[in-house]
Amino acid sequence: MQNIFDTLIDSFVKDKVGIAEDFLSVALAAHLKANLSTLFAADGFHPAGLGNDTLQSHDTAIRGDMIYWLDRSHDDPFENDFFDLMDRFVKYLNDTCYTGITGYEFHYARYEEGSYYKKHLDCFRNNGSRQYTMIMYLNADWQPADGGELCIHQDGMQQNISPIGGKSVFFRSNELAHEVLLTLKPRMSITGWLRID
Task: Please give the Cα distance from 100 to 106 (Å, whole number).
Answer: 18
- pLDDT score recorded for residue 178: 95
pLDDT of 51 above 90? no
- pLDDT score recorded for residue 63: 85
Q: What is the band of 1 on the pLDDT scale with cuts at 50, 70, 90?
A: confident
Mean pLDDT on 42-71: 78
- pLDDT score recorded for residue 26: 93
pLDDT > 90: what percent of the chain?
83
Cα–Cα nearest to 185, from 139, 134, 126: 139
pTM of the full structure = 0.92
Radius of gyration of the chain (CA): 16
Domain-wise residue ranges, the chain: 2-49+63-195
The answer to whether residues 150 and 65 touch, using CB atoms and an 8 Å cutoff, is no
- pLDDT score recorded for residue 58: 54
CB atoms near residue 108 (< 10 Å) = 26
Model confidence over 106-116: pLDDT tens digits?
Answer: 999 999 999 99
Cα–Cα nearest to 65, from 105, 107, 112: 112
CB atoms near residue 66 (< 10 Å) = 18
The answer to whether residues 52 and 124 touch, using CB atoms and an 8 Å cutoff, is yes
Cα–Cα nearest to 68, from 52, 44, 35, 49: 44
- pLDDT score recorded for residue 57: 54
Average pLDDT of the chain? 92
Q: What is the band of 139 on the pLDDT scale with cuts at 50, 70, 90?
A: very high
pLDDT of 135 above 80? yes
Mean pLDDT on 91-114: 96
CATH topology of domain 2-49+63-195: Jelly Rolls (2.60.120)
The answer to whether residues 154 and 121 touch, using CB atoms and an 8 Å cutoff, is no
- pLDDT score recorded for residue 50: 61
Which runs of E-coded beta strand occur in the chain? 18-20, 46-47, 66-69, 103-111, 117-120, 130-137, 150-154, 157-161, 168-172, 177-180, 187-195
Task: Please give the Cα distance from 151 to 161 (Å, whole number).
Answer: 6
pLDDT of 53 above 60? no
